[in-house]
Structure 1
Amino acid sequence: MCTVVARIIQECIKNRGVKVHSIQSRAKDAESFGRRAAIPLEIDPNLPKYKNPLKDITDLAVVRVITHFPGTLADVDSILNEEFDILEKSNKGLALIEEDRFGYQSIHYLLQIKGDRTRLSEYHRFSGAIVEVQLRTILQHAWAEIEHDIQYKSSKTIPTEIRRRFMALAGMLEIADREFQAIQNADQELESHAKSMVQHGNLTGIKITPNSLKFFLDKRLGADGRISSWSYDWTTRLLKDLGFHDLQQVEAAIAPYDDDRLSFLAEGGRQGQTKRFELMLLAALGDGFFDRHPWKYGLFVERWRGFLENSKRKELLRRATWWMAPTNSDTFWIITPHP
């Protein structure tokens, strides 16, 4: 049951483009169930806490969804409400404060697979069955795991010094969760701003990041779905090693060159987006490309230096003069096209 529910959640999250850290599932084993069922009632130890254990113990099948950021919790909550029948929802962080516990943050759901699914033969046997879903961030999960291992169930039973450290740590984790969310929000705002500026052709001051570089190259050289995120990350690091600071400097360097012409000259055909871009950088920087390239030794240099010299001899590339200009603690290339 929990495996099926975990798979449904996984597919829905994937289809919505929501990113989570992990989805876990587990069925309670008989021994664990036995221990839970044998717990006595607090006000009368002669009576069991659970009169009907099979019904009253709701975590026989558990799915745990762990997100990276607090903001993703709402996305997953929306998916659960749309895809399942929610019988109960509780915020354990608020509930456990009233029980004199601290630090534990998690949202728990009791849910069932919807009737339209259970009418299908593959889900029919799960009709009416209840699954507990636990939703938390990765830092909340870390706290829960550590707290469970230390096994202090009430702050009243903890020695004062340890209790103070527990409380400080709980506060630190909550602040860290909020700060990670703030960082993600800021990153998304920067990405959105960069995309808008690139689309409007205003490149001055736009920092070179894998995302901003992709926006720039998609517009400048045409989109290429074959290029991986790793390639944009690598090319971003290359540009910084070469001394570029923003996309305007990149555009100034490659402006005189035709990517398709370079591609056919070097490889005899049209290459991928980032490969054509590197050829433009090579044409623009000349020997400076090799001086700062991380692969500045061996066959790589021999091959591309040969291509560069051959191109110059055939006068198929514009010649360019480059000089180094200091800017604070670093340097960058300035292009001066030859008449």
Structure 2
Amino acid sequence: MDSKVDIKIKEDHGHWYDNNIDPYKGLAEIIAVTLKNSLISQQISFVDVPYRSKTKKSFLKKIEDKLIEKDYSPESMTDLAGIRIITLIESDVQKVCDLVSKMFNVHQADSVNKSEKLGEEKVGYRSVHFVCDVGEVRGKLPEFSAYKGLCFEIQVRTALEHAWAEIEHDRGYKLGGKLPSHLNRRFKLLSGLLESADLEFNRLTVEIEEYAKKLNEQIKKNNLDYELTNVGLLVLLSEKFGKYIVYKNKSDKNAYSIDLGIAELYKFGIDNLKEFDRVASTYTNQYDFGRDNSLVGFIRQLLMFVDINKYFDEVYAASDKAWTVISSSTIEILEQKYSREEIEKILTRHSIKLIHF
């Protein structure tokens, strides 16, 4: 083809892009926001839902590559608006795929599961790609009416798949294609390791959920011969001592709070559910703990009731998360067992200030 014709075609495609890309920018954003809200409402865990509209450079490159193989026009491009849903584990990928299929009109002929294309004997880039439009029902809504008939692509990946794609493909680090034999072997080994890690994280998550379910059943039967773990303690607290604890939000039950509570219990010498239940049952029956404790607050109050000197000398003093103030309401609760003078002596010894509210 004449070079002048090539330049003219490229200019025409560039004009098409300039005149048509704006709706796709809005489409990518509204689809991403809609998906995020739906994932949250369906309680499907995800890492992020990034989105983008195709850049002009990428658009022109794709047109050029496609025209080598066949006739191709800008109207044929289905990924001018792109959204990625990054999940934590493999089992959430299928949940997301089911959700996408219900929410939008999926173009099955253009959609692909990269894992299935790899087959059983190959490892590498894995992801599920959907080509969609908003569909008839959603297209009638005012916020979607401007995007009716426009296609967009949704990619669904786990966090590890996403990391691999960033290295192998999106960042252009030249890890794909033909490599020297010794590097190609390492490349394949790394691909397999990442895929194995993804599968193992998924299995581990399923087993933890099964363990929690089993533990819940055993706790209801008062069988508490289990080590003290995050899962076990949360189940026991919820089942038997939930009325003493107020969770401000879901995250209160996770990470920092429960880890800190477990650490202090172990330092105090309580390392199994049976012992924790015995101590907690004894002291909640004997004293009024109140009804607005945090998870860590309840555990600390319990340990102080058991032995306030031991708690401060062996647990508090050894902690790198030491708190330096205590509320007057907590002091009033502790006065059910200890005198104000005894409590204030301990607080002074550990440089803890009393605050009133």
Please state how far the C-alpha of 1:193 moved relative to its aligned partner. 1.8
1:12 is paired with a residue whose SS is helix
Provide the residue aligned with 2:300 in structure 1.
Answer: 278
Q: Taking structure 1 as reference, are residues 283 and 40 closer, same or farther at Cα in structure 2, changes over 3 Å only?
A: closer
User: 1:294 and 2:316 equivalent?
Assistant: yes
1:158 is paired with a residue whose SS is coil
Please, what TM-score do these two structures have when normalized by structure 2? 0.74
User: 1:212 and 2:235 equivalent?
Assistant: no
1:107 to 128, 137, 141: 128
Larger strand percent: 1
Number of aligned residues: 299
Please state how far the C-alpha of 1:225 moved relative to its aligned partner. 4.2
2:62 to 27, 36, 39: 36
Please state how far the C-alpha of 1:66 moved relative to its aligned partner. 1.2
Taking the aligned partners of 2:142 and 2:286, their CA distance within structure 1 comes to 56
Please state how far the C-alpha of 1:138 moved relative to its aligned partner. 1.4
Please state how far the C-alpha of 1:281 moved relative to its aligned partner. 2.2
1:179 to 187, 200, 209: 200
> Where in structure 2 are there 5+ consecutive unaligned residues?
1-26, 341-357
Please state how far the C-alpha of 1:92 moved relative to its aligned partner. 2.0
Q: Taking structure 1 as reference, are residues 107 and 256 closer, same or farther at Cα in structure 2, changes over 3 Å only?
A: closer
1:3 to 10, 24, 29: 29
1:235 to 239, 256, 261: 261
> Where in structure 1 are there 5+ consecutive unaligned residues?
42-47, 264-268, 315-339
2:282 is paired with a residue whose SS is coil
Please, what TM-score do these two structures have when normalized by structure 1? 0.78
Tell whether the 8 Å contact from 1:26 to 1:62 is kept in structure 2 after alignment: yes
Structure 1 runs of 4+ off > 4 angstroms? 295-301, 303-310
Please state how far the C-alpha of 1:107 moved relative to its aligned partner. 1.0
1:15 to 18, 37, 41: 41
Task: Give 1:53-68 correspondences, 5 Å limit.
Answer: 53-68=73-88
Q: Taking structure 1 as reference, are residues 81 and 260 closer, same or farther at Cα in structure 2, changes over 3 Å only?
A: farther
The C-alpha deviation readout for 1:178-217, integer Å capped at 9, x for no partner, is 1111211221122112222222222122x32333223222
1:150 to 152, 158, 173: 173
User: 1:79 and 2:102 equivalent?
Assistant: no
Moved more, 132-141 or 233-242: 233-242
Larger helix percent: 2
Tell whether the 8 Å contact from 1:260 to 1:270 is kept in structure 2 after alignment: no
Tell whether the 8 Å contact from 2:123 to 2:195 is kept in structure 1 after alignment: no
Taking the aligned partners of 2:198 and 2:280, their CA distance within structure 1 comes to 42
Tell whether the 8 Å contact from 1:211 to 1:232 is kept in structure 2 after alignment: no
Identity among equivalent pairs (%) = 24
The C-alpha deviation readout for 1:218-261, integer Å capped at 9, x for no partner, is 33333444351243332122111212111111122233323683
2:283 is paired with a residue whose SS is coil
